[in-house]
Structure 1
Amino acid sequence: MRKIALIVAGGRGLRMGAEVPKQFIALAGKPVLMWTTECFTKFDPEVELVLVLPADQFEVWKALCQEYNFKLPVRLVEGGATRFQSVKNGLDSISGEGIVFIHDGVRPLVSKATLENCFNSAMEQGNALPVFSVVESLRKVTTSGSQHIDRNQFRLVQTPQTFVVSGIQKAYQQPESDFFTDDASVYEAAGNTICLVDGNQENIKITTPVDLKIAEMFLKTEC
Structure 2
Amino acid sequence: MVSLIIVANGSGQRFGENKMLAKINNEYLINETIKCFENLNEIQEIIVVSNLEIFEIIKNKDAILVEGGKTRGESVKKGLELATKDFVLIHDGARPFVSKETILEIIDNLNENDSVIPTLKVTNCLKRIVGNKIETVNREEYFQTQTPQGFKTKIIKDQYNENQNDFFDDCQLIEKLNYKIKFIEGDEKNKKITFKRDL
Aligned partners of 1:121 and 1:157: how far apart in 2? 17
The structure where strand makes up a greater share of residues is 2
Partner of 1:204: 191
Q: 1:50 to 1:156 in 2, by over 3 A?
A: same
1:181, distance to aligned residue in structure 2 (A): 1.5
1:62, distance to aligned residue in structure 2 (A): 4.2
Q: Does 1:12 align with 2:1?
A: no
The 3-state SS of whatever aligns with 1:123 is: coil
Q: Does 1:85 align with 2:78?
A: no
Q: 1:45 to 1:115 in 2, by over 3 A?
A: closer
1:194, distance to aligned residue in structure 2 (A): 2.6
The 3-state SS of whatever aligns with 1:210 is: helix
Q: 1:192 to 1:152 in 2, by over 3 A?
A: same
1:98 to 86, 99, 107: 86
Aligned partners of 1:46 and 1:196: how far apart in 2? 21
The 3-state SS of whatever aligns with 1:40 is: coil
1:84, distance to aligned residue in structure 2 (A): 0.9
Aligned partners of 1:43 and 1:105: how far apart in 2? 18
Q: Does 1:117 align with 2:116?
A: no
Aligned partners of 1:154 and 1:188: how far apart in 2? 15
Conserved in 2, the CA contact under 8 Å of 1:172 and 1:187?
no
Q: CA RMSD in A?
A: 1.9
Write the letter of the residue equivalent to 1:13: G
Aligned partners of 1:3 and 1:46: how far apart in 2? 5
Aligned partners of 1:46 and 1:159: how far apart in 2? 15
1:197, distance to aligned residue in structure 2 (A): 1.1
Write the letter of the residue equivalent to 1:40: F
Q: Does 1:134 align with 2:122?
A: yes
Stretch moving more, 97-106 or 187-196: 187-196
TM-score, normalised via structure 1 length? 0.82
Summarize the alignment of residues 1-223 of structure 1 with structure 2, pairs less than 5 Å apart: 2-18=1-17, 21-44=18-41, 46-53=43-50, 57-58=51-52, 60-65=53-58, 70-95=59-84, 97-142=85-130, 145-178=133-166, 180-212=167-199
Write the letter of the residue equivalent to 2:7: V
1:12, distance to aligned residue in structure 2 (A): 2.0
What percent identity do the matched residue pairs reach?
31
Structure 2: segments with no counterpart, 5+ residues? none
User: For 1:150-207, what per-residue CA distance to the aligned partner results, in whole angstroms no more than 9, with x for missing partners?
Assistant: 11111111011111111111111213225x2111011225543432111111111111
Q: How many corresponding residue pairs?
A: 199
Aligned partners of 1:142 and 1:13: how far apart in 2? 27
TM-score, normalised via structure 2 length? 0.91
Aligned partners of 1:72 and 1:78: how far apart in 2? 16
The 3-state SS of whatever aligns with 1:47 is: strand
Aligned partners of 2:7 and 2:153: how far apart in 1? 16
1:71, distance to aligned residue in structure 2 (A): 3.7
Structure 1: segments with no counterpart, 5+ residues? 213-223
The structure where helix makes up a greater share of residues is 1
1:106, distance to aligned residue in structure 2 (A): 0.5
Write the letter of the residue equivalent to 2:54: W
